[in-house]
Amino acid sequence: MISQQSFDAVTAMFERVSGIQLGESKRALVTGRLQKLAQTRGLQDVDRYVQALLDENDPEELVRVVDKLTTNETYFFREPEHFDFLASLLEARPRGAGSFRVWSAASSSGEEAYSIAMVLADRLGAGGWEVVGTDLSTAMVDAARRALYPMERARHVPVAYLKRFCRKGHGEYEGQLLVARELRDRVHFTQANLMQPLPDLGSFDLIFLRNVLIYFDPASKEAIARRVLGLLKPGGHLFTGHAESLASTSLRLRTVKPAVYAHA
Ligand SMILES: C[S@@+](CC[C@H](N)C(=O)[O-])C[C@H]1O[C@@H](n2cnc3c(N)ncnc32)[C@H](O)[C@@H]1O
């Protein structure tokens, strides 16, 4: 197990970068994840790895540590009520209403952004929409751009969408699926830290900020939601995870559905 001193040093660095506090209960998890990085450098001992990390202060190695310590669990069509609501919003949308832009604001390996894209392509056709995905982890941004997933991740994708938007891998890609080019062309990923001023992403009709606020203390959660809402168009909707209510914040929001908000 990692020593108290190394644990404190690494978690303080991680909190400075990501805003996420990893408490004492995460000590075994942190040890396991850093052990993997230590091994790639031929070190058996996690504490020696942390010492090297602190001595060298190499930005690329720090990125690798942040990538390892983020929790990236996600899957296609997670929290399906939101995708039903998305389809109903598109149904009610007047024709010729201009380009429809959606932001997946903690996109992890991209499954959420591509699930949104499947619904948009189905309801709006090949053009007139765009999805932007951002994540703190550069490793996740790279994975999302590859758009290649183990087949079992697709178990919640509606069959019609699976046939239409997913290509089955052969040969060295056996057991994997690739998201179709028609979607990949309209879904763009870039690295962004929600704890810092955001890059110029434009404004959005819908923002998915799901299953990320849960990692932050109330003040950081509110600051992130406020920053993100600055990019929501008037009349747009903000989606959070169902376990991530914004009700106790001082943000001027109206609850439209469970875990769906609009400007008040
Ligand atoms: C559990 S995943 C959520 C994925 C997807 N939104 C979903 O609901 O399934 C949380 C993601 O938040 C990202 N994350 C954590 N802190 C962040 C920050 N400060 N800025 C941007 N992304 C962050 C992590 O890298 C991780 O990929």
State residue 216's pLDDT score.
Answer: 87
Task: Indicate the pLDDT class of residue 209, thresholds 50, 70 and 90.
Answer: very high
What tokens does 204 get? 């959005």
Q: Which domain holds residue 50?
A: 4-69
Q: Is the CB of 211 under 6 A from ligand 1?
A: yes
pTM: 0.91
Same domain, 64 and 92: no
Active site residue 145: no
Residues 6 or more apart in contact with residue 88 via CB below 8 angstroms = none
Q: Tell me the pLDDT of the chain averaged across its residues.
A: 93
Is residue 74 domain-resident? Answer: no
Same domain, 196 and 113: yes
State residue 238's pLDDT score.
Answer: 98
Output the domain CATH number for residue 63. 1.10.155.10
Same domain, 112 and 135: yes
Q: In what order do the strands lie in the sheet with 166-168?
A: 148-150, 176-179, 166-168
Determine how β-strand 148-150 pairs with β-strand 176-179.
antiparallel
Q: Is the CB of 153 under 6 A from ligand 1?
A: no
State residue 226's pLDDT score.
Answer: 97
Which tens digit of pLDDT belongs to each residue from 84-109? 999 999 998 877 778 999 999 999 99
Same domain, 113 and 240: yes
Same domain, 142 and 239: yes
Give distance in angstroms: CA of 13 to centre of ligand 1. 18
Active site residue 135: yes
Q: Which residue is closest in CA terms to ligand 1's atom 14?
A: 136
Please give the average per-residue pLDDT across 247-263, as a whole number: 95
Total structural domains in the chain?
A: 2
Planar angle of CA 231, 235, 241, nearest 5 degrees: 65
Q: Is the CB of 133 under 6 A from ligand 1?
A: no
Give distance in angstroms: CA of 207 to centre of ligand 1. 14
State residue 96's pLDDT score.
Answer: 73
Phi, psi for residue 72 in degrees, rounded to 5: -110, 10
State residue 86's pLDDT score.
Answer: 98
Q: Which residue is closest in CA terms to ligand 1's atom 16?
A: 18
